[in-house]
Structure 1
Amino acid sequence: MKQGVRWGVRGVTGWAVLALLAGCGEDASTSGQEVGPGCRDAMELGTGMLACGLAADAYAEEALPQTNYGVSHKLVADNLNRRAAFLRFEVPTLPAPVLRATLRLYAMDGSTDGPKLYPASTDWSEDSLTWEHSPVLTGAPLGDVDAVPNHSWVEYDVTAAVKGSGVYGFALVTESRNGVDFASKDHARKEWAPRLILTLEDARQK
């Protein structure tokens, strides 16, 4: 069972590369200097790597169309009970262009077939999101994953959607009846919270 991660960074010819090192409960959001609302550099300012925490997250269930799960410790994507998860990030003004953007999630309960990740609308609140009032999918899938082991990290490349500062919404939707439970930002293990990892162009390498 993995015990979370801590973020390390090294620069390689104009790129800042994220090294994922086994940790023991260290929260990535505390291992750096704050750059903007919800975003911190991974180790020290100027490395070219930002770890952005969620502005909001929730999941919704078709069988309970008026129920809100905004404070749940998990984000569920499951086609057996028709449940989908939604996330929103607010990226501040950045000091350099984005070279790569990765959504990183922790699967507490895995699946034989993981969910697809879609871009989604951002005009919603986690306190009022329900199946009846859920975000709208705004494009084709950004990524898909196959089998997801229990207690493992899952990554989606969202570079095509995240180009710079702004508000970004995502939806996790699956066709599998074997659903997956990801840790939400409200989970007691804060190091398991979803992160949007931004690799920025490193001006020092030019």
Structure 2
Amino acid sequence: TQPAIDGPVLATAGAVALGQVVDFDVTGAIQGDGVYCFALESPSADGVRYNSREAAAGKPQLLVGVGSQTTTTPPPPTTTPPPAASAAGTVVADTYVQSDLATTNFGAKPVMSVDNGAASNPGTTGVQHTFLRVSVSGVGARLLTGAHLKLQVANVTNAGSVAGGSIHAITSCTWDEKTVTWATQPAIDGPALATLGAVAAGQVVDFDVTSAIHGDGVYCFAIDTTSTDSAIYNSREGTGQHPALVVQVTP
């Protein structure tokens, strides 16, 4: 009932003497933890006898040697952070008010005007102030490096002016473009941030409002003028280029 000796020879010992400890190298058959079986045979008619496990001394032993194994921990996978959201500025409300029409709302008009005129002269209007509300988003913890309000002078009669007006940051941001009038207008309580010279019909002008924009949020501005030569700009409801706020941030 013996098992078949079906493996190749791993090692062969030469002459052995009484009491000698002999070594059979079976490294090639041991791959790791587990149970392994071996058979000894000899082509010689000169028999040899070894101590068994039941002997008093010199019992069979299997000696295994292992080397230190250095485990290399793979580096953590490289995670590419998602691109930062683009910073955006949006003009969300715009209108103007007029002193000689103190209870009239102009929020649905396609244009908005600034003037320091007097309505006493034929064909003239009173003082006109323009108001804009803007929303800034996507800045987050980054540094805002620029904010510019772009307005296009309307392509209508007498839209150009010798003075495009002065823009101010204002404290009140609760006015409604559909209801505000000269009588209910917010106070223009901030210093002038930028003042324009002459502007022409169709021209896109730039008001630098960087110093008033500190990050994400809602901001309000007013434009007035010391000139009696009115300047007329496209509103959000108009044709042509609509008011826009362009913001720049650090990467």
**TM-score of the superposition, structure 1-length normalised?**
0.71
Q: Secondary structure at the match of 2:215?
A: coil
Alignment match, 1:199: 248
Alignment match, 1:177: 228
Q: Which runs of 5+ in 2 are unaligned?
A: 1-81, 118-125
- Partners of 2:160 and 2:87 in 1: how far apart? 27
Q: Does 1:97 align with 2:143?
A: yes
Structure 1 stretches of 4+ with a deviation exceeding 3 A read 45-51
Amino acid at match of 2:93: A
- Work out which of the residue numbers 151, 169, 183 in structure 1 matches 2:202: 151
Q: Secondary structure at the match of 2:182?
A: coil
- Work out which of the residue numbers 106, 111, 131 in structure 2 matches 1:69: 106
- Partners of 1:103 and 1:166 in 2: how far apart? 15
- Partners of 1:51 and 1:167 in 2: how far apart? 12
**TM-score of the superposition, structure 2-length normalised?**
0.59
Q: Does 1:115 align with 2:165?
A: yes
In the TM superposition, what are the counterparts of 1:42-53 in structure 2 within 5 Å?
Answer: 50-53=87-90
Alignment root-mean-square deviation, CA: 1.8
Question: Identity of counterpart residues, as a percentage?
Answer: 29
- Partners of 2:245 and 2:236 in 1: how far apart? 12
Does structure 2 retain, via aligned residues, the 8 Å contact 1:77–1:172?
A: yes
Shifted more, 88-97 versus 180-189: the winner is 88-97
Q: Does 1:84 align with 2:125?
A: no
Does structure 1 retain, via aligned residues, the 8 Å contact 2:88–2:138?
A: no
- Work out which of the residue numbers 110, 116, 132 in structure 1 matches 2:183: 132
Q: What's the offset of the Cα at 1:75?
A: 1.1
- Partners of 1:48 and 1:104 in 2: how far apart? 22
- Partners of 1:100 and 1:47 in 2: how far apart? 17
- Partners of 2:83 and 2:146 in 1: how far apart? 16
Q: Secondary structure at the match of 1:129?
A: coil
Identify the structure with bigger relative contact order (alpha carbons < 8 Å, sequence gap 6+). 1
Q: Which runs of 5+ in 1 are unaligned?
A: 1-44
